[in-house]
Amino acid sequence: MAYTALARKWRPRSFAEMTGQEHVVASLSNALASGRVHHAFLFAGTRGVGKTTVARILAKCLNCERGVSATPCLECASCREIEAGRSIDLIEVDAASRTKVDDTRDLLDNVQYAPTSSRYKIYLIDEVHMLSTHSFNALLKTLEEPPPHVKFLLATTDPQKLPVTVLSRCLQFNLKRLSVPLISARLAHILDAEQLAYDAAALQLLAQAADGSLRDALSLLDQLLAFGNGAAREPEARAMLGTVTRDHVERIGAALAAGDAPGVLAAAAELADFSPDYGQILDQLAALLERVALQQLVPGYTGDELYAPALVSDLAARMSGEDVQLYYQTAILGRRDLALAPDPHTGFRMTLIRMLAFRPDQAGQSRTPAAAPVAPTAPGAPVARKEASVPAALPQSALPPGDWGAMLAAVELDGPTRMLANHCTLVAREPGLLRLTLDVHHSTARTRAREEKLAQVLGRHLGETLRIEISAGAVVVETPAQAGERATQETLAAARAALAVDPTVRALQERFGATVNPDSVRARRPA
């Protein structure tokens, strides 16, 4: 007996058997139950999500001999003929192969004739966006005013290519890509019914590779069953899909949790022997980190079939929430930047290095070198922390003016936030609190978002959770902006003075009567 592919064998026969697309099923079921059935439907969505399947089920609902309803009997002659693809009154057309206007006219020549044996004559046009402009024009009039015995069911993967005149005459349903858990559960149901052995992790891998398409997932499952001699096991699934084993990703995760740079690089070196898809590995690492973050947020979280709960719990206990978020974001950005790297392995390895290089230490400080040089200390003397130079809870007059500017120079701020900070002076520092005075002439620079951003960046710099209180008023101490302006003016004055005594300039003045335009003098920036 000929083998039937799983995608064909397990094609849903009724709305009750559909996987996902509840919003479409509910709308069509209500329309059928109320008798308010439109004459033209457009089903849009990516490949393999059920567009043609929904259309065929709707055709059975409309032409079932027991009456129009959302539950066709599946036993009458009309239902059986539609399922077998031999119903005379269901005309299925592949628009990709019949794009010419003559094909469309031939198709519509028989629209005015009543159906042969069914209640409705139904035209199911797949990939309708492939029709030519003239074909759409030929279809438009019939689509606008069809005979009462005709229904149009259109399916497309690219609704943007359809003329608005066609879209406006159809009820449009957008079918969604199916989620990984939904596809995985459907595959498990099919394998249970087929009495075939499988690993849950293997089905998870197939569901991820299917990218939202259940038909693609079933095709991959067919391939895996052939590859695995009738069983769907994880090692065979990884070999077929070209993915590396979980051990490598888990080993990288454990090394990151321990801050073990040699271990991270050793795991990266081992991967090079497999010539893997490094983008896929970063995706898997990001997926592992997402599981760890969920475990930290909701202790005892379950439901993952790809990584062992014990491993996820162990990593969640060993990694801080900040590290998990940093590693996840770095993996995502590294995935994006792989194409810009000298080669994929170098880009992958640099992504892992970046994770550890920017990992905060126990005090919350970045492990990257400080922006400003630190003065050497005497042998045996304790090393002062960066924030020690800002006294706590001192009056404004007692704070050295340069401390606030030095603190700002040591952190990275975006333009608007730095503008706010540069027009402030530090009044006092208390545990978890900085009090600032904003120059009243620049009060418009203050917004809630900028205050929060400034508190976040300075908090990371000082190694504590920080709150900032800003009050607008007259400043007594010079603000960083004022200090910068003063330095610029002093440099400019020095440049003008140097120009005035320059021998070349004086010679030009004496010989040609030249004059110097002071506004044209620019201070030379240091190299």
* Cα distances (Å, whole numbers) of residue 106 to 18, 99, 116, 136, 145: 34, 12, 18, 13, 18
Q: What residues make up the domain containing 263? A: 246-357
Distance CA 126, CA 95 (A): 6
User: What was the pLDDT predicted at 386?
Assistant: 37
The tokens describing 499, both together, are 């120009």
pLDDT, tens digit, 9 for 90 and up, residues 45-91: 988 999 999 999 999 999 999 999 999 999 999 999 999 988 999 99
**Which CATH number is 205's domain given?**
1.10.8.60
* Cα distances (Å, whole numbers) of residue 408 to 13, 281, 345, 418: 67, 38, 37, 8
pLDDT, tens digit, 9 for 90 and up, residues 469-526: 998 888 888 889 988 888 888 888 888 888 888 888 888 888 777 888 877 777 655 4
Q: Is the pLDDT of residue 387 over 60?
A: no
pTM confidence score: 0.55
Instruction: Mark whether 19 and 136 lie in a shared domain.
Output: yes
Terminal Cα-to-Cα distance of the chain (whole angstroms): 82
pLDDT, tens digit, 9 for 90 and up, residues 247-282: 788 889 999 998 889 999 988 888 887 778 888 889
What percent of the chain is helix, strand and coil (3-state, nearest 5)? 55, 10, 35
**Which CATH number is 396's domain given?**
3.30.300.150
Has residue 368 been placed in a domain? no
Domain end: 241, 263, 290, which one? 241
Backbone angles phi, psi at 172, to 5 degrees: -100, 130
Has residue 516 been placed in a domain? yes
The tokens describing 234, both together, are 């994880």
Count CA within 13 A, CB hemisphere, residue 244.
24
Instruction: Mark whether 69 and 138 lie in a shared domain.
Output: yes
Domain end: 130, 156, 174, which one? 174
pLDDT, tens digit, 9 for 90 and up, residues 114-132: 888 889 999 999 989 988 8
pLDDT, tens digit, 9 for 90 and up, residues 227-244: 888 899 988 888 888 666
Has residue 301 been placed in a domain? yes
In the chain, the number of structural domains is 5
Task: Pick the closest to residue 269 from 283, 251, 284 (CA basis).
Answer: 251
Q: Provide the H-helix boundaries in 145-260.
A: 164-167, 180-194, 200-210, 214-227, 234-241, 246-258
Q: In what order do the strands lie in the sheet with 40-44?
A: 90-94, 121-126, 150-156, 40-44, 171-174
Task: Pick the closest to residue 184 from 166, 158, 210 (CA basis).
Answer: 210
Domain end: 241, 272, 289, which one? 241
Distance CA 459, CA 338 (A): 32
Q: Provide the H-helix boundaries in 364-479.
A: 402-409, 415-422, 448-462
Instruction: Mark whether 288 and 419 lie in a shared domain.
Output: no
- Average of per-residue pLDDT across 372-386: 41
Summary mean pLDDT of the chain:
84
